Amino acid sequence: MNHIKILEVGLFRGFFNFNSKVYVMNNLIEIQNQIEKLQKQASEIRAQEFDKTVQEILVKMTAFGITVKDLDTGKGRARKAVSTTAKPSAKPAAAKYRGPNGETWSGRGLMPRWLAALVAQGRSKEEFAIKS
């Protein structure tokens, strides 16, 4: 274990050419200084772009006729509500096929099991067609 620590410190010293604790402390201080510098730059950029952004928003508000009242409501102008529920059709499709036990099928969608079983037995689907 002691050999590993010596080796690690030796590699660290050889790579950075000074004591590892000093490097970490210098690196931490440098990073904190960079953070402070970047935060100051961000504040300056925000201040510079603020007026420009407000002007762009005002231009768009004017173009779309948006007022401060529209913004206060949080909803904007009233829009036609989109229905989230499916509307039922006026009436179901008329039955085109009737099974031996009174089952019906409109001919739309998948073939029902009762008809599929009869067709599998060799009978024709047309045998069960409802004559108009």
Domains in the chain: boundaries: 2-73, 97-128
d(CA 74, CA 77): 9
Alpha-carbon span 47 to 34, nearest angstrom: 20
Two tokens at 9?
């410190």
What CA–CA distance (Å, rounded) separates 116 from 120? 6
- Give residue-wise pLDDT tens across range 60-81: 888 988 888 888 776 555 555 5
pLDDT value at 24 more than 90:
no
98 to each of 91, 102, 105, 123, how far by Cα in Å?
Answer: 19, 6, 7, 14
Question: Which residue type does 29 have?
Answer: I
More confident residue, 28 or 96: 96
How do residues 109-124 score in pLDDT, each as one tens digit?
899 999 999 999 999 9
Rounded to 5°, angle at Cα 64 from 58 and 68: 55
Supply the pLDDT for residue 11. 47
